[in-house]
Amino acid sequence: MANVTRDPETGAWRSIDSREIYAAQAEANALYMNELARGAREAGYTVDWTVNDKCHPSFELREVPEALREAWSSRKAEIDAALEARGTTRADATADQKQAAALDTRQAKDVQDRAALAEDWRSTARTHGFEPEQRPLGRTLDAA
């Protein structure tokens, strides 16, 4: 979609002012994150709010081990390695450097079997001492 349109009355070309769209997107993201957090709390998890690299609100589940979060964050590791190869770190890199590292390391998406992916995630969780079918407070996935 082009970011320009022609005014039918004046014939002048105008661009779209996306500030309102961006504000609505940010608000929708905040609502989405709050709903995810609410569901996690209802499932018995402890929600720890944080701010990500892009200064957007995010959260982690306290009961999920840090080592498992790192294992599931392979993109973060790839981007960090690319930044290191450029002589910088996530903490010191500019937004443009982070974006370049993210784009340079992005792989084409391939279609994977959802059941196989889920089993891989469960296996990784178990390897890190986390039983995915067990929720905090003894609540199982089937009982929720």
**Which pLDDT score, from 0 to 100, does residue 139 have?**
63
For residue range 39-95, list pLDDT tens digits in order: 999 988 999 999 887 778 899 999 898 999 999 988 888 999 999 999 999 889 998
| Distance in angstroms between the alpha carbons of the first and the last residue of the chain | 43
Distance CA 60, CA 133 (A): 18
Give the rounded percent of residues in the chain with a pLDDT score beyond 90: 55
For residue range 3-51, list pLDDT tens digits in order: 788 889 999 998 888 888 888 998 999 999 999 999 999 988 999 999 8
Nearest alpha-carbon partner for 132 in 121, 116, 73, 143? 121
Structure-model confidence comparison of residues 132 and 112, the more confident one:
112
Distance CA 120, CA 130 (A): 13
**Which pLDDT score, from 0 to 100, does residue 127 have?**
93
Sign of the dihedral through C-alpha 86, 102, 68, 41: positive
* Chain-centre distance for alpha carbon 21: 20
Sign of the dihedral through C-alpha 112, 118, 119, 124: positive
100: its two tokens: 């370049």
**Which pLDDT score, from 0 to 100, does residue 31 have?**
94
Amino acid at 11: G
Domain ranges of the chain: 14-63, 65-107
Phi, psi (deg, nearest 5) at residue 2: -75, 150
Are the C-beta atoms of 60 and 69 separated by less than 8 Å?
yes
